[in-house]
A = this chain, B = another copy of it.
Amino acid sequence: MAVNRRTSRDIRSESRLTVMRALLAAGESTRNRLAEDTGLSIGTVSTVVSDLLKHGIITETGQVGGSIGRPTTGLRPNADRGRVVGVYVDVEEAYLAAKVYDAELGELALAEATIDEGLDDADTVIHGIERVLGAALERARANRDDVLGVGILLPGGTRRPVKVPVAAPNAIWLHLDRLRDRLGLPVVVENPLKAKATAELWLGAGRRRTNIVTVTLGIGVGAGIVQDGVLTRGSSDSAGEWGHTLFTFDGRLCRCGRRGCVEAYLGADGIRQTLAEIAPGHPLAAEPGRRRFLEALAESPGREAADTVERTAHYLGAALTDLVALVNPEVITLSGWTARFLGERMLPIVRRRVAEESPGDAAADLAIEISSLSDPGMTGIAAVALERFMRDVGLVTTRMLPAI
């Protein structure tokens, strides 16, 4: 029968993550202040702090003089507990990157590589990951023994191919055991939607709110949905595919094979198509790179470019309204190239449109913001790797992480 019921073990797990995240947000704190910040009882916080101290994930900093009462022991994350590494695999650009973080998710070093021969098969990807990971660890002067976990950020959204003719990421899903053997390190794979939601929970909007939606606007578009502080995974870990919800029935052909998806209007190629509709033959539309197209669109002084951005803002407002209507979040954060290059310009129209179109008072207290995180995908996958380590030592329960 029911297998997904929450148990008190899950609650302990959530409390540990909550306290850990609150301590990361504060930098240094005390048991009492963590109780205030998290809303957990002082008893729960004390228990959780003991658990985290035992595993060396946080550390005591000696007596902290309080303005009232006796001095209490300070606490802070133990940055030197080890290192976590985020790895980003961009098949289209044949680009790989690895970033090393300390155990409080502070960035230490980055290594990048462009693979001339492309990333078309699993062997090339695995070899590339090995190289870029090694280079990043060297730059961070990190020992392999210090690595608590490696997170691989892989677009794709779901386990099975999304009818998109991109072989390599799926190949990685299929060859994950081999990757783990080659690296000799704990490996976890997650898609950008869920990694970014995790980043917001650890270091961004999720520090202050428990109902958040993190929207990615890049080549693909999608959402991470967090309800009551927990990421919505769905029954087969496929939730969040907002990019493949309807924007217009029988509308533009999406690369997933369906017609009228949100992504066909708000993905990079969708925005290019909007430009082509507004100004057929416009030179910008011929720009082959998606990232470069978006950057050029943002910089273009022309009227057609401005109209394209404006129309895209209306499309975005309309499509975000669907998320407001369905899950009624407190905040929506935007990230990805489109958010970076065009976000601030689009926000006024987006906010107005969402406020006007959302049902009832669903958007009355809603904030729509560009993500405050500089690299949410990478930070998120590092946070996922850290959560995975916390799972391996028994601090968090498995259901919060993908089953690999």
Residues on the B chain within 8 Å of A159, using CB: 360-361
* Cβ contact of A235, chosen from B36, B211, B225, B229, cutoff 8 A: B211
Residues on the B chain within 8 Å of A209, using CB: 2, 235
Say whether chain A's binding surface is mostly helix, strand, loop, or mixed. loop
Q: Give complex CA distance A5, B332 in Å.
A: 19
For residue A245, which residue of chain B has the nearest CB? B322
In the assembled complex, A241 has its CB within 8 A of some CB on chain B? yes
Stretch from A73-81, A94-102, A121-129, A246-254 contacting the other chain: A246-254
For residue A21, which residue of chain B has the nearest CB? B2
The answer to whether A360 and B328 have CB atoms under 8 Å apart is no
* Cβ contact of A1, chosen from B39, B160, B230, B318, cutoff 8 A: B39
Q: Give complex CA distance A227, B399 in Å.
A: 13
Residues on the B chain within 8 Å of A3, using CB: 39, 210
1/0 contact string of A294-317 vs chain B (CB within 8 Å): 000000000000000000000100
Q: Give complex CA distance A38, B4 in Å.
A: 10
Residues on the B chain within 8 Å of A328, using CB: 233-239
Given contacts A6-B6, A38-B5, A228-B6, A247 and B244 within 8 Å (CB-CB): no
The interface centre, meaning the residue of A14, A209, A241, A246 with most chain B CB atoms within 10 A of its CB, is A246
For residue A357, which residue of chain B has the nearest CB? B258
* Cβ contact of A359, chosen from B211, B251, B256, B321, cutoff 8 A: B256
The answer to whether A362 and B1 have CB atoms under 8 Å apart is no
In the assembled complex, A11 has its CB within 8 A of some CB on chain B? yes
Residues on the B chain within 8 Å of A120, using CB: none
Question: How many whole Å from A205's CB to the nearest CB in chain B?
Answer: 12
Residues on the B chain within 8 Å of A325, using CB: 238, 241-242, 244-245
The interface centre, meaning the residue of A10, A160, A228, A366 with most chain B CB atoms within 10 A of its CB, is A228
In the assembled complex, A364 has its CB within 8 A of some CB on chain B? yes
In the assembled complex, A166 has its CB within 8 A of some CB on chain B? no
* Cβ contact of A5, chosen from B39, B256, B365, cutoff 8 A: B39
Question: How many whole Å from A282's CB to the nearest CB in chain B?
Answer: 22
A196-242 contacts to B (CB < 8 Å): 207-211, 223, 225, 227-230, 232-242
A1-30 contacts to B (CB < 8 Å): 1-8, 10-11, 14, 18, 22
In the assembled complex, A319 has its CB within 8 A of some CB on chain B? yes
The interface centre, meaning the residue of A210, A238, A360 with most chain B CB atoms within 10 A of its CB, is A360
The answer to whether A245 and B326 have CB atoms under 8 Å apart is yes
Question: How many whole Å from A165's CB to the nearest CB in chain B?
Answer: 14
The answer to whether B4 and A246 have CB atoms under 8 Å apart is no
Residues on the B chain within 8 Å of A247, using CB: 246, 249
For residue A314, which residue of chain B has the nearest CB? B249
Residues on the B chain within 8 Å of A256, using CB: 359
* Cβ contact of A223, chosen from B207, B210, B326, cutoff 8 A: B326
In the assembled complex, A37 has its CB within 8 A of some CB on chain B? yes
* Cβ contact of A37, chosen from B1, B229, B234, cutoff 8 A: B1
In the assembled complex, A387 has its CB within 8 A of some CB on chain B? no
Q: Give complex CA distance A311, B125 in Å.
A: 45
**Which residues does A use to contact B, with CB under 8 Å?**
1-8, 10-11, 14, 18, 22, 36-40, 157-162, 207-211, 223, 225, 227-230, 232-242, 244-249, 251, 256, 258, 260, 265, 315, 318-319, 321-323, 325-330, 357-362, 364-366
18 contacts between A and B (CB under 8 A): A1-B37, A2-B210, A5-B38, A159-B361, A160-B360, A162-B359, A227-B232, A234-B327, A235-B365, A235-B366, A236-B328, A237-B328, A238-B325, A239-B327, A242-B325, A244-B321, A245-B325, A256-B359
